[in-house]
Amino acid sequence: MMKDLTEKLLKRKAFFIIGSIVLVGAVFAFGAVFGYHQRPEIEKVLGVFNKEAEKPAEVDFEPFWKAWSIVEKRFAAANGIDRQKMVWGAISGALGSLGDPYTVFFPPEEKKLFESEIKGSFGGVGMEIGIKKGILTVVAPLKNTPASRAGIKAGDKILKIEDKETTDMSTEEAVKLIRGPEGTSVKLVLLSKGKEKPREVTVKREVIQIPVLDTEVREEGIFVIKLYNFSERSPVEFRGALRRMSQSGSQKLVLDLRNNPGGYLEAAVDIASWFLDTGKIVAREKFKNGEEQLYRSRGYKPFDNLPIVVLVNQGSASASEIVTGALRDHEAAKVVGEKTFGKGSVQEVIDVTNNTSMKVTIARWLTPNGEDISKNGITPNIEVEQKEDDEAKGRDTQMEKAIEILKDWR
């Protein structure tokens, strides 16, 4: 009997041990399953795609990965999910949240478009556009282009391109819609300054040949240089224009930068160097960490005390504002016209993948006296508005004021 009792106790002990193991195993399994479902959202997504991610420790990416996970599980896509397109969209959205219209992402197709713009091989309407106060705006129409012939003006707000509203549209997306094969047309809905109703304009695309400058000899020894852009050719062309000025016997200068959307910094520094002493600051480039890089005049300056009036308007941007600010701050010229566009930031293009890139603002331009061009633009010494009525009559009130100032200059 004692033997039977011992065997029963041993069986109960074994059953208890086995039961405990099973119970512990069940609890562990439940915990593992529960923990698996409660793991960070990024791990759920990465587990599916077998990718690694880098993320700053101070940023909570959980909402992003949870949203991605919800889309993966719940989105009823008719043609499936284009995950790569989702990635491009996420990057674009992140950059868009910065509130800087010049910091943008270029997916493959947009990157090709951007590169064609740099090379100059495109069909378009001939105008520079940008975002001003959150609205797609014409910076400047270029001379003798479809845009200028269609009556498009600096400051016109672009409300629609074809049938697409431009609200929240990036400049790159707008450029993509406006560009197209030579001979085709694009329909724009524009709202001009001082007008209550927008107007519709249809513009025929051409291969755009951008001019550099024009010159003119005016009465009483006044010479006019109309500079259209700051391209690679601008410094050489500008030197030739000054030579013609000297040969003409002119001793006073109007530098017309109206509707000049800018261009290369190198060209701006070179052109400013004709009017500033060696070492004078042309522009300050201020970086994120507060450090500044100074760009200084090379001091060509063949003219002593040359009377200069610089003409600007809201279509004067970027390199135009750098030159204008430098000559104004150093009192080398008087500035006449309207407040400039306010495009004073520096962008760098960085490859993200082999076929995508991003353009990111890395610094801001300041005038020699430290004025932030992006915040304020350049305010003229003498403000003169070019009214539409005067323009319709063929009267250039801003040029008239510049000539008046130079005639009285002593």
- Annotated catalytic residues are 318, 329, 343
- 3-state SS class at 336: strand
Cβ neighbours around 81 below 10 Å, total: 11
- Sequence letter at residue 182: E
Nearest CA among 226, 227, 159, 222 for reference residue 195: 159
d(CA 171, CA 379): 25
- Sequence letter at residue 95: L
d(CA 65, CA 264): 41
Burial of 305 (C-beta count, 10 Å sphere; 0-12/13-18/19+): exposed
Which alpha helices (DSSP H) does 293-347 contain, by range?
Answer: 319-329
Nearby residues of 279 by Cβ (< 8 Å), 6 or more positions away: 296, 297, 299
| Tokens matching residue 107 | 């997916």
Nearest CA among 334, 337, 330, 332 for reference residue 316: 337
Nearest 5°: the CA angle 384, 388, 393 is 105
| Tokens matching residue 148 | 């200028």
- Sequence letter at residue 312: V
